[in-house]
Amino acid sequence: MKGAVHVSDGVVLYAIGLVLLIYVGSYVQLKFGAAGIALTQLMIIGLPLLFAYYIKSDFKKVFSLKLPKFKHLIGATSLWIGTYLIVFVITNIILYYFPQNQEIVEGLNDALFTKDNLLLNICLVALMPAICEEVFFRGFILTSFKHNKKSYRGAIVASGILFGMMHMDFIRIVPTSILGMAFAYAVCKTNSIGVSMFMHLLNNGFAVVVTYLSSKMLENVETTTATYLSFNQLFVFLILSIMFISVAVLLFKEKKSLKESNIVE
């Protein structure tokens, strides 16, 4: 079908994006700093838009361009909290067994965040990725794997894993993949990329604010020691996660129409 997005299109786009991110993205970020991060995000959003235009796709369908309902935004908030708790538990476990990765995390934060400029960090690390990366992953990539109701589960998993792999860091691959799956699930249930953009903005914005506040509080502290949660604390986090995700699932459910509910057997 002319203009339809296929799995092969998604694979090709991802491969091109990965190569450009490694060679072009890393170069411009090292060369231009904050401006390089912005240029990388523009490259990420430009690729799927150009590809979709080239194959004459329906932008509204490919990128799930639909205004989200208010209850879906509430559900998205609940889903993000639940997913964040899972990610927090997994990251804590990874750092417990691989403590050397803590230095990598701190190094990435130093590279991403512009010191003492909260507003700029929110724009570069939260707002731009929430738009650009969502168009790439929960727009073109997710649609390329999702062709019917039966295939959407595989599309959620596949797009989530690809999202995690794009971050190219051992400590972040699994947590980021889980976040990507949650974002994709939200789009599949609501048919609105605005919902996943909102979740992405919440996630990255929270990280920016926490990092900013932490740096302020630790300015006069020479050394810090890593602390890990106990098993009981991790278990409580997982229970809370299930509760928040369950609320999101209920809010994402759409009521059946009168015609559907009155089917004569």
For residue 250, the tally of other CB atoms under 10 A from its CB is 11
- Give residue 90's pLDDT: 93
For residue 126, the tally of other CB atoms under 10 A from its CB is 19
Q: 125: which 2 tokens? A: 């690390």
* Model pLDDT for residues 127-163, shown as the tens digit of each residue: 999 999 999 999 999 999 997 667 889 999 999 999 9
C-alpha distances in Å from residue 160, one per residue of 41, 133, 154, 190: 18, 12, 10, 17
- Global pTM reads 0.90
| 23 membership: H or E segment, kind and range | none
CB 37 within 8 A of CB 113: no
Separation CA 48–CA 62 (nearest Å): 10
* Model pLDDT for residues 31-81, shown as the tens digit of each residue: 999 999 999 999 999 999 999 999 999 999 999 999 999 999 999 999 999
Percent of the chain with pLDDT over 70: 85
Q: Categorize the per-residue pLDDT at 110 as very low, low, confident or very high, splitting at 50, 70 and 90.
A: low
What secondary structure, in 3-state letters, does 203-252 show?
A: HHHHHHHHHHHHHHHCCCCCCCCCCCCCHHHHHHHHHHHHHHHHHHHHHH
- Give residue 27's pLDDT: 95
- Give residue 216's pLDDT: 79
- Give residue 119's pLDDT: 94
CB 144 within 8 A of CB 17: no
> Is it the case that residue 16 has pLDDT exceeding 70?
yes
Separation CA 242–CA 109 (nearest Å): 29
